[in-house]
Chains A and B, each alone.
Chain A
Amino acid sequence: MRIEAIGCEPLQLRRVHLENSRSLDVYRANGGYEALKKVLDSMSPDDVINEVKKSSLRGRGGAGFPTGMKWSFVPKDSPKPKYVVCNADESEPGTFKDRYLMERDPHMLIEGMLIAAYALGARTNYIYTRGEYKYLIDIMDVALDEARAAGLLGEKILGTNFASDVYTHTGAGAYICGEETALLSSLEGLRGHPRMKPPFPAVSGLYACPTVVNNVETLTAVPDIIKMGGEAYQKLGTEKSGGTKLWSVSGHVNKPGVYELPMGYDDMEKFIMEDCGGILGGKQLKAVIPGGSSVYIMRADQIIGKDVRMDYEGLVAAGSSVGSGGFIVMDETVDVFESTKNLTEFYKHESCGWCTPCREGTDWLVKVFKRIDKGGGRPEDAQLMLDLCDNIEGKSFCPLGDAASWPIQSAIKRFPEDFKRRLQANGDHST
């Protein structure tokens, strides 16, 4: 599996291939904790937030919300303690970038979190990692101990009056706990149900205190932003989508892996066919899900010869979105009915069960998929599925409901033949 930068200098991936890249020494020897020092020596919290605003960094967790703006929502005057929580739940199908960032360069995350903690005045910070990534939690704990021993955590950080600490926390197997408010419920020791917004976490989050939740990749971008300055970082990408982005590439390509591309990388076709080594076994490209399972699926002909620009605006224009950057490539052998069934089963399994449309809707949809799969398809099923999706989308308590309907809606629209084939199938075996 490849881990490399293409079309730009490696930024997030700068150290991943070094020997002992995890260790504090290697990290420091390669520019580590300089940004933190700069911040503590010469910048006010507001300076930090402004740099991040200038960088036009957008959240890498999936929602793509401007990070600087999110930080500026935290009420400065609030007497309550404040928290920075790193979202390392990485459960979006097709996404595995955070895993390698933490595995290869844990101190970059710690530095990013400390800078955020300084900007927001947080004394305590947590890294919420999905339970399956236990080995990453162990790696982070080692790194945190190193940092603590080196006076980079706790009281008097780098000899200044800045005091802050970072702790790991484990999830226990629930995709929904990647959703920031569900994550906070889970971190409080409750069932991982999402919470009502407003109030937003920035105002009332963990323990009802102001809290910023950021994805790993978002936080690891912060040290470079501080070092090179917000503008310089922004210029690496486009005006609206600053900097570089990690893409987790999987499926039928010769070179799957984690690729760092500048935002606005000019051509998705080139990316697939050249950078990722083309389609496995020289087969034809059939479909791509570019942003993790929760985005519209794209037909090959929406990509081939279309110069799809790889950034937030470009992908929306091309009929999908960046999401978490989980880039799933499917060749001609894939039956999109099957792949959609597979994802719907995922969403059914991961629906938290709080709200009616998602809980009952995904359960119903899976039952329909299974019936069709058994040969019980009916011509009206396509319409039924679209209508069920319509009754979920925009009406669920949290975005998981929407996420569950988009793959189905786009698949039925863009790959009608794969569904028709099943629906004309031999009569009704369902009852």
Chain B
Amino acid sequence: MATELVKVTINEKTFDVPKGARLIDVCRQNGYDIPSFCYYSDLALQASCRMCLVRIEKMPKLQTSCTITVTDGMVVTTQSEEIEKAQRGMNEFLLANHPLDCPVCDRGGECELQEMTFDWGGLEERFTEEKNYYPEKYLSPMVANDQQRCILCKRCTRVCDEWMGEEAIEAGGRGAHTVIGTYMGWLDCSQCGNCIEVCPTGTLLDATYRHQTRPWELAQTISTCNFCSDGCQMSLGSRGGELMRVVARDRYVNGINGEFLCVKGRFAHPFVNHEARIRTPLIRYKKGGKLIPATWDEAIRHVAERLDTIANDHGRNAIGVVGSPRLTNESLYTLHRFATELVGTDNYTVADAFSLKSFFANLGAPLATHRDIRNAKTILLIGGEPEELQPLTGKQIRQAVRNGGAKLVVANSVRIRLTEQAAAFLHIRPGTEDAIVLALADEGTSSLAAQKTGLETKDIDAAREILANTAGDVVVMFGGELSREAQAILAQLTFAAEGQRVLFHPLPLFNNSVGALDMHMLDGAMTASEMLDACGSEIRAMYVAGSFLPQHLEGREDALAKLDFLVVQELFETETTATADVVFPAASYAEQDGTFTNNDGLVQRVRQSIPPLHQAKADWIILAQLAKELGLDFGYEFAPTSVFRSIAENIPAYSGLRYPLLKDESQPVQARYNIGQTDVSEALTAVRGSVEALANEGDKIFGTPKVGHELFKIGNLTDKVPQFHLLASGNPRPETTAISPLYQITVK
């Protein structure tokens, strides 16, 4: 779609720029630097810092370039004595009440006010009066606050409102006594810390990183988050083999998430250097005995022998191989080869919450990228809870609606927070998500679906109406509630409309759930739960890279104990290692190179920020060594690049990919899944059957889940971060906010 161009003259040079573009952007894109604090693209205009002043012909007084949209023939001056004086004046005003304590400020060295002052500030300091004073304090376990440094650009309040939809932090007071804060001074929100990220000064600070290093002492490594499937790009700041902090500040990183991160991505990293990390290989020489440190050679040899005997005694299929959806593609690919080529078992899988196999098998349209979501015209969300489980997706949806005027259609058994933005909310009975998919695929079933979901037919028709009347992009999202068949039907959905494009956005739970599928780890004969049920009978030994999820072990607590032999690769001791015979120390995402594939199908780089801790090794290296011991050489010469090359050669969707092609996170590369028509008539019959079998009445779930009910859940990793225990226990307001809220708990 070609945009109309207009002529704009800036400092005597004329440019053709897109009609309706913002003057400040136009100037910057054409090399005229314009200072600003409050302007932040894709947030509501503020025009309060008054730094971005320019002179426009035929306009009285200086104008704020952040509020001006260019018009044809506009003549602009961005540099002159008058403008410079004004900008120096503004900067001087901002510094008037700003303490000059940069040497002790965590932001020192990456502070926009500091930089602006060097570039645009006045030289002599004329403000000799007393500065307004506010004490430092904590707003939450994650957010520290030094009010004095605030320049009231209100980026924080705007991201909290527009990105997060939480409006947890606001401006209070008036005039020179305006402060950023909350009622009662305690911040109860999802603790994403994006207010910290966008703060140009040291006003809002990472409480977990307070006074630890100066920014310039940190080695910055661009990598991919290892929590949810959104795959945010982030900068790992390390010093001396220790991971000190995580930011998305896009001066370092320019990924799909811009400056956005969620509470886990930003604050849960301390697990990496936690002292509970498994340090050496461990062997349990006799059942019920203790795990005893061993050398790598000894442990590898031990495992090789035992697997060999079990294969000989019980057959190869008696050995189950299980991977974690947190592993890199490199490790999962190697694990698949380990299972199929070396062990030769049919029983391998990934311990994930649900499988997207039949969705991808029937994919009828491309996957949406997060940028596509932001620009969508209509978004259909069936099940799931992105604001808690895929926070970046949640933010993109919110902005699509608030800033982009998109329509959001939600079908969910719970009134999730995103329904605040919804144009249509189908409040269905729990477990009836399939019925909605059916009704959308086949109008004839509307009344059936209505009956089973507890809606009225007109509600469903209204939703279908919105979808059918959308010109532009419709993004279809879904969570783990859908059956295999419903996934297939959904993957083939279309809504007849002019100039419409359907895009899909699955909502798996883990950073590499999609990669695990691509690496064929879900082609095995059993699911994780089935495999646990088979322990001691069909399955006599198991090789687990990672751990099972609580929901797998629930009701099957003693399954693993029934095994003759259990090998686990892990960072920490878990329920899964409890009965393991051998445990290998695995390296975390921060200690290795590799790739994750996110829910956009983007293959993104994981980069080593610190050397492996203790004796830990990347999972794929452990497997390759074990394979060597058993007489098979994967031929990787122990370089992740060569593993990835092998992936590219054997996995069609990844063909032609190489690390160098993935090096720029601002140009992410999407895996090439094959897209096409498939016959889902059987699936339709099956789903109609299962929907008809649903009860005709049943209770609905009322109330909106509390912010953080999923994000703050304690898992194996967040368990290692004391702040998360405070959040998990309801983020209580401490007696005093003058010292770190951590004083409330004894850190183990």
Direct contact of A and B (CB under 8 A): yes
A363 CB contacts on chain B under 8 angstroms: 96-97, 132, 175-176
Q: What secondary structure prevails in chain B residues at the interface with A?
A: loop
A371 CB contacts on chain B under 8 angstroms: 129
Q: Is the CB of A354 within 8 A of B89?
A: no
Beyond A361-B93, A364-B129, A397-B50, is A356–B151 a contact (Cβ under 8 Å)?
yes
Listed stretches A221-229, A286-294, A388-396; interface member? A388-396
Minimal beta-carbon separation of B576 from chain A (angstroms):
53
CB neighbors of A among B683-728 (8 A): none
B176 CB contacts on chain A under 8 angstroms: 348, 351, 353, 359-360, 362-363
Minimal beta-carbon separation of B229 from chain A (angstroms):
38
B126 CB contacts on chain A under 8 angstroms: 384
Tell whether B286 is near chain A: CB-to-CB under 8 Å: no
CB closest residue in chain B, given A176: B174
1/0 per position for B58-97, CB-CB distance to A under 8 A? Answer: 0001100001000000000000000001100110111011
Listed stretches B41-49, B390-398, B449-457, B584-592; interface member? B41-49
CB closest residue in chain B, given A347: B175
A361 CB contacts on chain B under 8 angstroms: 93
Q: Is the CB of B45 within 8 A of A357?
A: no
CB closest residue in chain B, given A363: B176
Q: How far is the CA of A353 from the CA of B49 in the complex (A)?
A: 11
Q: Is the CB of A430 within 8 A of B129?
A: yes
Q: How far is the CA of A355 from the CA of B89 in the complex (A)?
A: 13
Minimal beta-carbon separation of B405 from chain A (angstroms):
14
Beyond A196-B45, A430-B129, is A353–B93 a contact (Cβ under 8 Å)?
no
B85 CB contacts on chain A under 8 angstroms: 391
Minimal beta-carbon separation of B91 from chain A (angstroms):
9
Q: How far is the CA of A285 from the CA of B92 in the complex (A)?
A: 39
- Interface magnitude class on chain A: 20 to 34
B175 CB contacts on chain A under 8 angstroms: 348-353, 359, 362-363
B97 CB contacts on chain A under 8 angstroms: 360, 363
Tell whether B142 is near chain A: CB-to-CB under 8 Å: no
Tell whether B130 is near chain A: CB-to-CB under 8 Å: yes
Beyond A356-B94, A363-B132, is A395–B86 a contact (Cβ under 8 Å)?
yes
Tell whether A272 is near chain B: CB-to-CB under 8 Å: no
Tell whether B152 is near chain A: CB-to-CB under 8 Å: yes
B96 CB contacts on chain A under 8 angstroms: 360, 363-364
Q: Is the CB of B47 within 8 A of A391?
A: no
1/0 per position for B209-229, CB-CB distance to A under 8 A? Answer: 000000000000000000000
Minimal beta-carbon separation of B176 from chain A (angstroms):
4
Beyond A174-B174, A353-B176, A359-B178, is A394–B62 a contact (Cβ under 8 Å)?
yes
Minimal beta-carbon separation of B54 from chain A (angstroms):
12
Tell whether A421 is near chain B: CB-to-CB under 8 Å: no
Q: Is the CB of A367 within 8 A of B61?
A: no
Q: Is the CB of B152 within 8 A of A353?
A: yes
Tell whether B173 is near chain A: CB-to-CB under 8 Å: yes
Tell whether B738 is near chain A: CB-to-CB under 8 Å: no
Tell whether B309 is near chain A: CB-to-CB under 8 Å: no
Q: How far is the CA of A413 from the CA of B263 in the complex (A)?
A: 57
A396 CB contacts on chain B under 8 angstroms: 50
CB closest residue in chain B, given A396: B50
CB neighbors of B among A178-209 (8 A): 191, 196
CB neighbors of B among A326-356 (8 A): 348-356
Q: How far is the CA of A348 from the CA of B129 in the complex (A)?
A: 15
A368 CB contacts on chain B under 8 angstroms: 129
Tell whether B739 is near chain A: CB-to-CB under 8 Å: no
Q: Is the CB of A357 within 8 A of B89?
A: yes
B171 CB contacts on chain A under 8 angstroms: 191, 353
Q: How far is the CA of A360 from the CA of B129 in the complex (A)?
A: 12
Beyond A351-B176, A395-B62, A396-B50, is A357–B90 a contact (Cβ under 8 Å)?
yes
Tell whether A160 is near chain B: CB-to-CB under 8 Å: no
Q: Is the CB of B174 within 8 A of A391?
A: no
Q: Is the CB of B47 within 8 A of A397?
A: yes
CB neighbors of A among B83-133 (8 A): 85-86, 89-90, 92-94, 96-97, 126-130, 132
Residues of B participating in the A interface, judged by any CB pair closer than 8 Å: 45, 47-51, 53, 61-62, 67, 85-86, 89-90, 92-94, 96-97, 126-130, 132, 151-152, 171, 173-178
Sample of 13 A–B contacts (CB below 8 Å): A196-B45, A352-B175, A354-B48, A355-B49, A355-B50, A356-B49, A356-B51, A356-B94, A357-B93, A360-B176, A363-B96, A364-B129, A395-B53
